[in-house]
Amino acid sequence: MHLYKRKKNNYRLFSITIICTVFIFSSFGCRHERDDKYSEHEEYQQPNIIFILTDDLGYGDVGVIFQNQRAVQGKPHHKTPHFDQLAGDGMLLTRHYAGAPVCAPSRASLLQGVHQGHANVRNNQFDKALSDNHNLATVLKQAGYTTGIIGKWGLQGTDGDSPEEWEAYPTKRGFDYFFGQVRHYDGHNHYPAHEVAQRSKMEIYSGTEEISNQLRGVYTTDLFTAMAKKWITDHRQDDPDQPFFLYLAYDTPHAGLEIAPSPYPEGSGMDGGVQWIGEQDKFINTADETIDDYFHPDYLGLDWPITQKRHASMVRRIDDGVGDLMQLLRDLEIGDNTIVVFTSDNGPHRESYGYGEFDPTFFESFGPLDGIKRDVWEGGIRVPTIVHWPGRIPSGTQNDTPSGFHDWLPTFTDLAGVPAPARTDGVSLLPILTGEEEETPGIVYIEYFVNIKQREYPQFKISRQGQSRKEMQVLYKDGYKGVRYDIQSAADDFHIYDTLEDPGERKDLAGSNEYFQDLQKRMKEKVLRLRRPDSSAARPYDDMPVPSLEVSKELEKGLNYHVYEAVTPWTPDIRSLRMPPVVSGISEGFDIGIRTRDNDIVIEYSGIINVPQTGQYSFQLQTDSGAVLRIHEATVIDADKGYHRESIATSRILLEEGYHPIRLTYARSDARSPLLELQWSGPGFTGESVDVERLYH
């Protein structure tokens, strides 16, 4: 019996369906025709996109999610009026998950559009270089957007000490503009020109220039808000017809617990709020001779611990900044064509860095959940998420479909009218956001290791207090969350929860009936089928073969194929092409003779490969333009961005004897000699073409 229950939003509103028979990438300044139930020929305008990421803001730190409830109960609470207004005018995603329970891997999954089973930054690999592959900035830049990042980066690479030397400086990863902190550590001091408790002065870069010596009295929350306002305003004046993507990554309310130097300026938007000035020691209008001493008046006279007043004031400052920014969009008359996403990189922290004892228990920043930063219980990974787009996203709504950071890349390419790269693990959230009936099923998957025990907070389930974390893993399947802590082997059981009805994860459903016994088995198989091992983040289940399928019906020889005539700048995710195939059929193997033309064509082959015996298999792929190979849901070969024509891409995977789903997506953009060859090696054989006798559908 299928027990999955999910609330459905009973509304339909403006449907954003971009249907293009040909994607035009040679002139990205163009506008795409939109086909929906209201208009057949109205011109579609690519929306501006702003992604606001806070650092360590807990799920329960937002008023409309939890703090307002505490107010009604007469408990200590802090206020977020602008976050609440944003939610009132947009949609809350109530089960949206960060890429990981700590910042660097979480941000890597966000930017790359892949979950932690495929991301190149995992565990606690702070400052590791983001791989040179498709990401939010590169795909939107190719789609005609100007791209900017303001705030915290932390993915530049550990080699070198300057923008020229850092391998993955933001402007080397698709961003046209960068202003902010490069290193992870730089985000630990919110007054970069000053020494503060337990932290020395830090660096801030504007482009490739280090400018911290100009920032006397400047608080980073205000600084990043002011620079975002300036960047948007300048772009609106200089190139009003070009859409923009802004990744605004605040470094607060992460510790240290520094607060602003002065009250938030009156007003907001173009004529008020924080403003860029650009002068030495007066870089923005809130720069002050004294620093770190402004408590919000709502909290100043309350009988609270000083650290909690600091936390509340820090959150309120971000809230003021977001309200200021939203007013700017209205002032510039671009609010209706700008989608704004507001969220956090992981659960709440407990650090103060020299300001005294601090825990997220006073305000219950984790909300009704267990877990904090570095946990994969809900409080560590479920993040407050608000999406705002006037006239497109219904006001005052919420959706509880499980979704994750890796879904934003295909969502934004969908908005931009271009296909998502085939390597993405995400799905577009537009059907959820706009109220369309059909949602493409997505996946939530997280893996993480830290050798620290969980906090012994009285709000948490007794059995979890002080438990060992170490290897952790999360998977959603059939709408249920499977979670494992301190994993010793692939045989370890998952705890299974219905987080819709039981957000605190109090009732473990594992083994409770025959359905959940079967779900346990399927979860254990699924996590081996959707990820790839990474030697820099070894797991205790890395040496397990990928389980084969149990095939219950007779298979037929050959592969399914679908041919699309589409101009694409990369090998696309077929689900995002928004067009039907021009021809479909059955092919004996990976035969490119089925193509309908020689250029601007995409072919997807899918079926089942029969693996003769359990062991390591090496796949070698050679092609003319680009191709991506998946077995089950694991990306085995990514011969797309950076792939050189006719070079050999190779990868190994440990497979169990039996049947395995295989999918190869091939894309070519020119009329040069077509080439697509897939070979494999395994126990007892080397370098053979995949035998058509082993391919089924």
CATH number of the domain that residue 122 is part of: 3.40.720.10
- Quick one: pLDDT at residue 20? 35
Residues 507 and 577 in one domain: no
Residues 78 and 124 in one domain: yes
Q: 549 in a domain, yes or no? A: no
Cβ atoms 408, 134 nearer than 8 A: no
- Quick one: pLDDT at residue 36? 36
Residues 142 and 214 in one domain: yes
- Quick one: pLDDT at residue 202? 97
pLDDT at 3 over 70: no
Q: What is the pLDDT of residues 194-239, one digit of tens each?
A: 999 999 999 999 999 999 999 999 999 999 999 999 999 999 999 9
Count of CA atoms in the C-beta half-sphere (13 A) of 192: 28
Between CA 308 and CA 62 the distance in angstroms is 15
pLDDT at 672 over 90: no
Cβ atoms 470, 488 nearer than 8 A: no
- Per the structure, the count of domains in the chain is 3
Q: 58 in a domain, yes or no? A: yes
In the chain, the amino acid numbered 495 is H
Cβ atoms 306, 299 nearer than 8 A: no
Q: 629 in a domain, yes or no? A: yes
C-alpha distances out from residue 26 to 174, 422, 567, Å: 18, 20, 9
Tell which residue, 125, 67, 97, has the closest CA to residue 384. 97
Residues 691 and 605 in one domain: yes
Between CA 178 and CA 176 the distance in angstroms is 7
Q: What mean pLDDT is predicted for residues 381-399?
A: 97
pLDDT at 60 over 90: yes
C-alpha distances out from residue 7 to 297, 504, 663, Å: 40, 18, 33
Indicate the average pLDDT of the chain.
93
Residues 319 and 453 in one domain: no
Q: Which of 35-39, 103-107, 592-596 has the highest mean pLDDT?
A: 103-107
Considering only residues 281 and 145, tell me which one the structure prediction assigns the higher pLDDT: 145
Q: What is the pLDDT of residues 304-360, one digit of tens each?
A: 999 999 999 999 999 999 999 999 999 999 999 999 999 999 999 999 999 999 999
Q: 382 in a domain, yes or no? A: yes
**pTM higher than the cut 0.85:** yes
Cβ atoms 317, 325 nearer than 8 A: no
Q: 314 in a domain, yes or no? A: yes
| Beta partners for residue 475, in sequence order | 445, 482
Considering only residues 28 and 171, tell me which one the structure prediction assigns the higher pLDDT: 171
Q: What mean pLDDT is predicted for residues 435-452?
A: 90
- Quick one: pLDDT at residue 39? 31
- Quick one: pLDDT at residue 583? 97
Q: What mean pLDDT is predicted for residues 126-142?
A: 98
Domain residue limits at 504: 446-537
Between CA 247 and CA 278 the distance in angstroms is 21
Q: What is the dihedral of CA 401, 404, 406, 407, to 10 degrees?
A: 20
pLDDT at 8 over 80: no
- Quick one: pLDDT at residue 437? 57
Residues 520 and 590 in one domain: no
Cβ atoms 471, 537 nearer than 8 A: no
Residues 207 and 308 in one domain: yes
Q: 10 in a domain, yes or no? A: no
- Quick one: pLDDT at residue 6? 33
Q: 206 in a domain, yes or no? A: yes
| Beta partners for residue 447, in sequence order | 473
> Which percentage of the chain shows pLDDT scores above 90?
90
pLDDT at 18 over 80: no
- Quick one: pLDDT at residue 4? 29
Residues 415 and 458 in one domain: no
For helices 220-238 and 306-331, angle between their N-to-C axes, nearest 10 degrees: 10
Residues 349 and 483 in one domain: no
Residues 246 and 395 in one domain: yes
- Quick one: pLDDT at residue 84? 98
* CATH code, domain with 606: 2.60.120.1560
Q: What is the pLDDT of residues 500-556, one digit of tens each?
A: 999 999 999 999 999 999 999 999 999 999 999 999 999 999 999 999 999 878 899
pLDDT at 24 over 60: no
Beta-strand pair 91-93/397-399: parallel
* CATH code, domain with 476: 3.30.1120
Residues 533 and 579 in one domain: no
Between CA 281 and CA 283 the distance in angstroms is 6
Tell which residue, 164, 185, 163, 15, has the closest CA to residue 104. 185
Confidence of residue 27 (pLDDT cuts 50, 70, 90): very low
Tell which residue, 540, 596, 590, 593, has the closest CA to residue 564. 596
- Quick one: pLDDT at residue 546? 98
In this structure, the chain runs to a length of: 697
Q: 394 in a domain, yes or no? A: yes
Q: Quick one: tokens of 429?
A: 């959230």
- Quick one: pLDDT at residue 33? 38
Residues 636 and 587 in one domain: yes
